[in-house]
C-alpha cells in the first residue's frame, strides 16, 4: 500500500490493485451493509468506494451509466416502465430519465447511506432523483423483485456491486428467475456482468443460467471503464419470450438533444452495436453456450 494512494484490493482480482492518488478523504462511514467512503482524487474527480471497491468516479462514470442504461432501453420501442436494482448513486436514473417514452422509474437500493452520500457529494449523478417519474424503495432487490406482479416492467437494469457482499444473490439463478417473471413478454434486462479479463467463470455461470431462463435472446456486451478492475466491464442483456429483440441493432435511438442539462458523453448507436463484438477467447466460451 502506497501512503496517500487508494489501492483497490480484492480476492476478485488477486495479484493486482489499481491505485488512485488521494487529495482528500471527504467521507467515511459504516452502514448496516458496508463501509462507505468518498475521496477527492487528484485526476479522476470524486470517487465513491464501497467495501474497498470503486463504484464510480466523476471522470468515467458516464461510460458505465450510459451503457448499462441505453443498451437495453434503445433496444426496444417505447419503454414505459423501468426498474433499477442497486444504482443508489442515481446515475442510472439520470440516464433512464433521458427517455421521453418512460412513464415510471422504480429503484430498489439496499443502502440508504449510498443514496444520501451521493446526494451530498455527487450532485451531477444524484440529479437522477430529481425526475418526478422516480420512486425510491430502500431494501433488498431480491425481496423487492419477488413481490413484483408478473409482467410489470418493460426493462429492468441491475446496477449491482460485485458478488462478494450484499449483491451476492443478484448473481444467482433464482434472482434471474424473478427478473424474467417481472418483465412483460419481449421485455429486457441488463445486468452488471463483470470483466472478461478477470471473471470468465462468473460470466459462464450467468450466461448458462440466462439461457435456461430467458427464451428470447441472450447476449453479452462490454465497455471500457478505466477505474473498474482490468479497465473493462460487461453486461448481460436478455429478453423474455415475446416480440423478438435484436440487441445488436438498436430500434430506439436516443435523441441527440434529449432536453437534459448534460448531453450524452459516451453512448452512441455505433458504440452500441460494437459493444457486442467479443474478443475470440470470450466469444468461444460465451457463444458456444
Ligand atoms: N452506479 C454505480 C455502480 C455500482 S453501484 C452498486 C449498488 O448496488 C450499490 O449502491 C449497492 O449498495 C447496491 N446493492 C448491493 N446489493 C444490493 C441488493 N441486494 N439490493 C439492492 N441494491 C444492492 C456498481 C459498481 C460495480 C463495481 C465493479 N467492480
Q: Mean pLDDT throughout 84-108?
A: 98
Whether 258 is catalytic is no
- How confident is the model at residue 184, as a pLDDT? 98
Q: Report the pLDDT value the prediction gives residue 260, as an integer from 0 to 100.
A: 73
Cα(228) to ligand 1 centroid in Å equals 13
Does pLDDT of 70 surpass 70?
yes
85: Cβ below 6 Å to ligand 1? yes
**Cβ(114) – ligand 1 distance below 6 Å:** yes
Please work out whether the CB of residue 72 comes within 6 Å of at least one atom of ligand 1. no
All three cell numbers of 140: 433488498
pLDDT of 122 higher than 80: yes
CA nearest ligand 1 atom 3, residue = 55
Crossing angle for the helix pair 173-182 and 200-213, to the nearest 10 degrees: 40
Which string of DSSP letters, residue by residue, matches the chain?
A: --TTEEE---TTSTT---EEEEEEEEEEEE-SS-EEEEEEESSS-EEEEETTEEEEETTTHHHHHHHHHHHHHTTSSS--EEEEEE-TTSHHHHHHTT-TT--EEEEEES-HHHHHHHHHH-HHHHGGGGSTTEEEEES-HHHHHHTSPTT-EEEEEEE---TTTTTGGGGSHHHHHHHHHHEEEEEEEEEE---TTT-HHHHHHHHHHHHHH-SS-EEEEEEE-TTSGGGEEEEEEEE-SSS---TTS-SSPPPSS-S-SS--SS--HHHHHHTT---HHHHHHHTT-
Is there an atom of ligand 1 within 6 Å of 162 CB? Answer: yes
Given ligand 1 and candidates 16, 61, 64, 161, which is best to mutate, with the most ligand atoms within 8 Å of its CB? 161
Q: Which residues does 21 contact at the CB level (< 8 Å), separation at least 6?
A: 4, 5, 6, 41, 42, 43
pLDDT exceeds 90 at position 35: yes
Please give the number of the atom of ligand 1 that sits closest to the Cα of 229.
29
Ligand 1 centroid, distance to 34 Cα (angstroms): 11
Query: Is the pLDDT score of 256 beyond 80?
Result: no
For ligand 1, atom 16: residue with the closest CA: 167
- Residue 1: what pLDDT? 78
Tell me: pLDDT of 258 over 70.
Answer: no
State the average pLDDT over residues 146-157. Answer: 98
The ipTM, to two decimals, is 0.98
Q: Is the pLDDT of residue 145 over 90?
A: yes
Q: Mean pLDDT lowest for which of 2-11, 94-103, 252-261?
A: 252-261
Contact 49 CB / ligand 1 (< 6 Å): no
Q: Mean pLDDT, to the nearest integer, of 43-50?
A: 98
Q: Mean pLDDT, to the nearest integer, of 202-228?
A: 98
92, HSE (Cβ side, Cα atoms, 13 Å)? 32
In this predicted structure, what is the pLDDT of residue 262?
Answer: 84
Tell me the pTM: 0.98
Q: Report the chain's mean pLDDT, rounded to a whole number.
A: 97
Q: Cα(37) to centroid of ligand 1, in Å? A: 14
Pick the residue whose CA is nearest to atom 1 on ligand 1. 87
The verdict on the CB of residue 170 being under 6 Å from ligand 1 is yes
State mean pLDDT over 80-91: 98
Phi-psi category of residue 40: left, alpha or beta, with phi > 0 → left and psi -120 to 50 → alpha:
beta
Q: Would you say residue 251 has pLDDT above 90?
A: yes
**Is the Cβ atom of 178 under 6 angstroms away from ligand 1?**
no
Choice among 159, 162, 246, 258 that is catalytic: 159
For residue 261, pLDDT over 90 is answered with no
What's the 243 CA to ligand 1 centre distance in angstroms? 30
Strand partners, 20: 6
Amino acid at each position: 500500500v502506497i501512503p496517500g494512494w487508494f489501492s483497490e484490493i480484492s480476492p476478485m482480482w488477486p495479484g493486482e490493485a489499481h491505485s488512485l492518488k488521494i487529495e482528500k478523504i471527504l467521507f467515511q462511514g459504516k452502514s448496516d451493509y458496508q463501509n462507505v467512503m468518498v475521496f477527492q482524487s487528484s485526476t479522476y474527480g470524486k470517487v465513491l468506494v464501497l467495501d474497498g471497491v470503486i463504484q464510480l468516479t466523476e471522470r468515467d462514470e458516464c461510460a458505465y451509466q450510459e451503457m448499462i442504461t441505453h443498451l437495453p432501453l434503445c433496444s426496444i420501442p417505447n419503454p414505459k416502465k423501468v426498474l433499477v436494482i442497486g444504482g443508489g448513486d442515481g446515475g442510472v436514473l439520470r440516464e433512464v430519465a433521458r427517455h421521453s417514452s418512460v412513464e415510471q422509474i422504480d429503484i430498489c437500493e439496499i443502502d440508504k447511506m449510498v443514496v444520501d452520500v451521493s446526494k451530498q457529494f455527487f450532485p451531477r449523478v444524484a440529479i437522477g432523483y430529481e425526475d418526478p417519474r422516480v420512486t425510491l424503495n430502500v431494501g433488498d432487490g431480491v425481496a423487492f423483485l419477488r413481490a413484483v406482479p408478473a409482467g410489470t416492467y418493460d426493462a429492468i437494469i441491475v446496477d449491482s456491486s460485485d458478488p462478494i457482499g450484499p449483491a451476492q444473490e443478484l448473481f444467482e439463478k433464482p434472482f434471474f428467475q424473478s427478473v424474467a417473471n417481472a418483465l412483460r413478454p419481449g421485455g429486457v434486462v441488463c445486468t452488471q456482468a463483470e470483466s472478461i479479463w478477470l471473471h470468465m467463470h462468473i460470466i459462464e455461470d450467468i450466461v448458462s443460467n440466462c439461457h435456461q431462463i430467458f427464451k428470447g435472446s441472450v447476449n453479452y456486451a462490454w465497455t471500457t471503464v478505466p477505474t473498474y478492475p482490468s479497465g473493462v466491464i460487461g453486461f448481460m442483456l436478455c429478453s423474455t419470450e415475446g416480440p423478438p429483440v435484436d440487441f445488436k441493432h438498436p430500434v430506439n435511438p436516443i435523441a441527440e438533444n434529449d432536453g437534459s442539462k448534460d448531453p450524452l458523453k459516451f453512448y452512441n448507436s455505433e458504440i452500441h452495436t460494437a459493444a457486442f463484438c467479443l474478443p475470440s477467447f470470450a466469444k468461444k466460451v460465451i457463444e458456444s453456450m
